[in-house]
Amino acid sequence: MNKPVLTIVVPCFNEEEVLAETSAQLSSVLLELMEELLISLDSKILFVDDGSRDRTWELIEVENERNPNIRGLKLARNVGHQNALLAGLETAAKHSDCVISIDADLQDDITVIHQFIEKFWEGQDIVYGVRDSRETDTYFKRTTALGFYRMMERIGIKLVPNHADFRLMSKRALDELLKYKETNLFLRGLVPLVGFKSTKVYYDRKERFAGESKYPLKKMLAFAFDGMTSFSVAPIRFVTFIGFLAVLISAIAAGYAITQELLGHTESGWTSLIISIWFVGGLQMLGIGIIGEYIGKIYHEVKRRPRYAVEKDLYTNILEVKQQSEAVIN
């Protein structure tokens, strides 16, 4: 078996504080893998700039000029982490035998990349990086994360618990993933749908090297809700169940009121009436909101707009020039 060409895809958004250190550490791992003859000398690291407003792209260009293993992809605007990651995966899929995706903040343990490659040599098409524990998280984040995975499992969405986007995919697995053309991306849910042989590698997550998290609570909640509504109609069914329950309670209350009227025990019920109106009105608004969320997703899907636009490509262009040069020499 020939040594596989590996591309490490790193989506970046305002990561000027960590980019140089990330580049240095990943380059060191890449060189070690080359020296151990586990990957091809043509293997690269691809940084994807997701419309950063700081000096991220300038630093990527500097690293590209200084290090032959560094490549860059600059998107024309900010399209979000999942679309930026997909842009890198699509670009790398054309010239790679396997691809590893990892965030730029160095929280994921890059030393387990060796284990990823070893599993790939053993015939695994997908290798998931899974957190061994969440002890470094706050109690709130740990509890909500575990609750999210349990809820997703209960409504029939197969996820890998405690796995983010730190994974290896073989070329054939990546090619299958790229056949999914939906606009509402939730890669953590899509990758398990691909199938093929897969395994897990466990590691301890570190503290962020520098800078601030790009996923505050608001974004985390939106991301979780997107994942839920992209893969299941359970929320709509839940609203239907609540609506049925409200009708049932209303029927029981109506029967009780009629009974009291017949027995001559009627009393003024202004408070209970107002509470009932607010309760039913709240259920209606909740139902309309959830249904509207699904309609909004349909609206985005049917437009079929491009998920991203590439402004500068320091990966494909350089490889094409190299291939043309080699063809002329041969």
Q: pLDDT truncated to tens, each residue of the chain (330 aa)?
A: 688 999 999 999 988 888 989 999 999 999 999 999 998 999 999 999 998 888 999 999 999 999 989 999 999 988 888 889 999 999 988 889 999 999 988 888 888 999 999 999 999 999 999 887 766 666 666 676 676 667 666 766 677 778 878 999 999 999 998 888 877 777 877 888 888 888 988 888 777 555 555 555 566 666 666 666 665 656 666 766 776 677 667 667 667 666 766 666 555 565 566 566 766 776 776 777 777 777 777 766 676 777 888 888 888 765 554 554 454 455
Looking at the domain assignment, is residue 43 inside a domain?
yes
**pLDDT on residue 328:** 43
Does 118 share its domain with 163? yes
Looking at the domain assignment, is residue 18 inside a domain?
yes
Does 161 share its domain with 297? no
- For the CA atoms of 155, 232, 290, 302, the dihedral, rounded to the nearest 10 degrees, stands at 170
Does 313 share its domain with 279? no
* Structural domain span for residue 287: 234-303
Compute the radius of gyration of the chain from its Cα atoms.
Answer: 25
Contact 89, 174 (CB under 8 A): yes
Does 192 share its domain with 280? no
Residues 6+ apart with CB under 8 A from 261: none
Does 114 share its domain with 146? yes
Q: Report how many domains make up the chain.
A: 2
Q: How far apart are CA 32 and CA 20, in angstroms?
A: 19
Looking at the domain assignment, is residue 226 inside a domain?
no
Does 149 share its domain with 287? no
Does 164 share its domain with 288? no
H/E segment holding residue 71: strand 70-75
Among residues 95, 113, 79, the alpha carbon closest in space to that of 11 is found at 79
Q: How far apart are CA 161 and CA 153, in angstroms?
A: 9
Q: How far apart are CA 64 and CA 315, in angstroms?
A: 10
Looking at the domain assignment, is residue 201 inside a domain?
yes
Does 64 share its domain with 170? yes
**pTM of the predicted model as reported, rounded to 2 decimal places:** 0.71
Contact 45, 60 (CB under 8 A): no
Residues 6+ apart with CB under 8 A from 299: none
Does 215 share its domain with 251? no
Does 140 share its domain with 194? yes
Strands 310-313 and 198-203: unpaired
Looking at the domain assignment, is residue 101 inside a domain?
yes
Q: What share of the chain is helix, strand, coil (3-state, %, to 5)?
A: 55, 15, 30
Does 196 share its domain with 267? no
* β partners of residue 201: 129
Three-class SS state of 78: coil
